[in-house]
């Protein structure tokens, strides 16, 4: 899939999921599937979510644009139940969430959210933290750590039974141990994950987009013409 170059479009324009800028960007639909139950780290998680019960959201529409210094992903998926609180339904439900995933080392496996020494980076939006995203790194299910709460910019609107979410970041940020750098004119592997909080999805219980390249999709950033 392609990240469209939008010259002179400020980040604020991209962060509005209904903004005019997005009318110039193609949207693609990505199929999502649940993480395998067998991969879940504990027996209690596996019995709570047997095979076939994970991944309530089956597809999402994605549009990607960059302005030469920032890149934004606009996600849209159908979700009739809007779960916006960590303490939803009297503490028994979970917030909806979405994340862009990138391998931060060659060969980092997608399905298990990385492996020791092979981190996966996530740019993470959660419906109960509407105004700031998380920059997350993981080296296997259950190992995610929030590295930063400033770099990832987010916006989320629930309208007409759908979530409309934008997740954005600078193409290049100061190089941390598990940070990806996206370069115009080049390709990068990526995927996305969605948690349906009303289905009690949290942690490794999520739907993700499985691509052709060792599980990853490929994103080609338009060069800055």
Partner 1 sequence: MNTSKRQLAMVMDLNKCIGCQTCTVACKTLWTGDEGMEHMWFNTVNTLPGKGTPHGWEDMGGGFDAEGNAVVGHIPSRKEFGEAWKFDHEGSYYGGKGDASHLAIAGEPPTWGPNWDEDQGEGEFPNTHYFYMPRICNHCTHPACKEACPRDAIDKREEDGIVTVNEDRCRGYRFCQAACPYKKIYFNHQKKVSQKCLFCFPRIDNGVAPACARQCPGRVRFVGYRDDPEAPIWKLVEKWKVALPLHPEYGTEPNVFYVPPIGPLSFDQDGDIDESTPRIPDAYLIRLFGPSVLDALATLKAEREKKRATGESELMDLLIAYEWKDMFGGFDTDPSTVSVVKWTNAS
Which one, 70 or 196, has the nearer CB to partner 1? 196
As measured in angstroms, the least distance from the Cβ of 60 to partner 1 is: 23
As measured in angstroms, the least distance from the Cβ of 192 to partner 1 is: 20
As measured in angstroms, the least distance from the Cβ of 86 to partner 1 is: 5
Region of 149 on the Ramachandran plot (φ > 0 left; ψ -120 to 50 alpha; else beta): alpha
Which one, 134 or 162, has the nearer CB to partner 1? 134
Instruction: Kindly calculate the radius of gyration of the chain based on its CA atoms and give it in whole angstroms.
Output: 16
Which one, 49 or 190, has the nearer CB to partner 1? 49
| CA distances (Å), origin 5, targets 30, 123, 223 | 21, 20, 7
Tokens read off for 222: 């338009």
Residues that bind partner 1 (CB under 8 A): 40-48, 85-87, 89-92, 94, 141-143, 200, 202-204
> Helix, strand or coil for residue 188?
strand
Which one, 136 or 219, has the nearer CB to partner 1? 136
As measured in angstroms, the least distance from the Cβ of 168 to partner 1 is: 23
Helices (H), the chain: 11-14, 43-48, 88-91
As measured in angstroms, the least distance from the Cβ of 199 to partner 1 is: 13
Alpha-carbon span 103 to 113, nearest angstrom: 9
Region of 185 on the Ramachandran plot (φ > 0 left; ψ -120 to 50 alpha; else beta): left
Q: Identify the bridge partners of residue 71 per DSSP, sorted by sequence position.
A: 66, 169
Which one, 17 or 204, has the nearer CB to partner 1? 204
């Amino acid at each position: 899939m392609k990240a469209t170059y939008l010259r002179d479009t400020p980040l604020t324009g991209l962060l509005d999921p209904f903004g005019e800028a997005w009318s110039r960007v193609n949207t693609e639909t990505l199929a999502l599937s649940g993480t395998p139950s067998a991969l879940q780290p504990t027996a209690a998680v596996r019995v709570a979510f047997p095979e076939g019960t994970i991944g309530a959201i089956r597809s999402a529409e994605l549009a990607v644009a960059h302005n030469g210094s920032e890149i934004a992903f606009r996600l849209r998926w159908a979700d009739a139940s809007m779960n916006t609180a960590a303490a939803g339904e009297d503490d028994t439900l979970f917030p909806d969430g979405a994340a862009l995933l990138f391998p931060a080392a060659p060969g980092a496996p997608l399905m298990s959210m990385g492996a020791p020494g092979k981190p996966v980076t996530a740019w993470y939006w959660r419906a109960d933290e509407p105004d700031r995203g998380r920059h997350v790194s993981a080296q296997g299910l259950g190992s995610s750590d929030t590295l930063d709460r400033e770099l990832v910019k987010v916006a989320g609107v629930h309208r007409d039974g759908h979530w409309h979410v934008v997740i954005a970041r600078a193409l290049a940020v100061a190089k941390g141990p598990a940070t990806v750098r996206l370069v115009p004119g080049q390709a990068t592997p990526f995927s996305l994950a969605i948690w349906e909080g009303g289905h009690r999805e949290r942690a490794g219980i999520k739907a993700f987009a499985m691509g052709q390249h060792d599980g990853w999709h490929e994103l080609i950033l338009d060069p800055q013409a």
